[in-house]
């Protein structure tokens, strides 16, 4: 019997990421690459965004995030906004450096998208409203999740996404690129 064991990073990290995706039902998927110090959040809009709308959105997110982070006395190392569209849905991918990313910025991003797209911003259905005490506890979990995604000891990228009413989290092991053959 051959057994392969892939060491699980930190189960607390997985739980934290699940908590983050549950707390913010607007996030369709989350990708974290601690080796590159990057986090990518994906949001879905239930309509096709035109090229002009995509450019305007990218500029608005960039401006808002940079201003917000500057007000906190920090610098933005990375912010990239990319959109993928088909005939009925658009996916907005916002890549950020994990060092300057915060829960408050996440709330800012979601607020901007909700204001811009209203009901077209796809949200995972929430079973019941949460009270303020539960929300505070969930916010603490979100802070823990963001800190965990910054952890350089985490060797593999993490991908969390929604599938129907479930949240799935996977670790992706980095592979070293092979050098091109010499001639």
- What pTM was estimated for this model as a whole? 0.80
DSSP state letter for 87 = S
| Residue 55 belongs to a domain | yes
Domain range holding 133? Answer: 11-169
| Residue 52 belongs to a domain | yes
pLDDT, tens digit (0-9, with 9 covering 90-100), for 132-179:
777 777 777 777 777 777 766 665 677 887 777 777 787 776 555 455
| Residue 177 belongs to a domain | no
| Residue 23 belongs to a domain | yes
CA–CA separation, 152 and 154 (whole Å): 5
| Residue 175 belongs to a domain | no
CA–CA separation, 39 and 99 (whole Å): 10
Helix, coil or strand: residue 19: helix
Q: What is the pLDDT of residue 13?
A: 66
35 or 88, which is more confident: 88
| Residue 82 belongs to a domain | yes
Q: How many domains does the chain have?
A: 1
| Residue 38 belongs to a domain | yes
DSSP state letter for 8 = P
Contact 172, 36 (CB under 8 A): no
| Residue 96 belongs to a domain | yes
H/E element, 83: strand 79-85
Strand residue runs (E) in 19-78:
27-33, 38-45
Q: Return the closest-CA partner of residue 43 out of 105, 128, 124, 101.
A: 124
CA–CA separation, 108 and 114 (whole Å): 10
Q: What is the pLDDT of residue 180?
A: 54
């Amino acid at each position: 019997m051959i057994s392969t064991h892939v060491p699980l990073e930190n189960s607390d990290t997985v739980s934290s990421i699940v908590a983050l995706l549950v707390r913010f039902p607007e996030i369709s998927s989350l990708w974290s690459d601690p080796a590159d110090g990057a986090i990518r959040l994906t949001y879905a809009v239930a309509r096709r965004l035109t090229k002009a709308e995509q450019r305007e959105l990218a500029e608005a997110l960039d401006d808002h995030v940079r201003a917000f982070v500057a007000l906190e006395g920090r610098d933005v190392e990375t912010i990239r906004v990319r959109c993928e569209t088909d005939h009925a849905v658009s996916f907005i991918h916002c890549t950020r450096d994990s060092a300057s990313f915060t829960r408050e910025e996440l709330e800012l991003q979601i607020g901007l998208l909700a204001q811009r797209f209203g009901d077209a911003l796809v949200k995972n259905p929430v079973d019941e409203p949460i009270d303020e005490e539960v929300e505070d506890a969930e916010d603490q979990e979100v802070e823990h999740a963001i800190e965990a995604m910054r952890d350089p000891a985490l060797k593999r990228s993490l991908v969390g996404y929604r599938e129907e009413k479930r949240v799935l989290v996977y670790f992706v092991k980095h592979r070293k690129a092979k050098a091109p053959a010499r001639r």
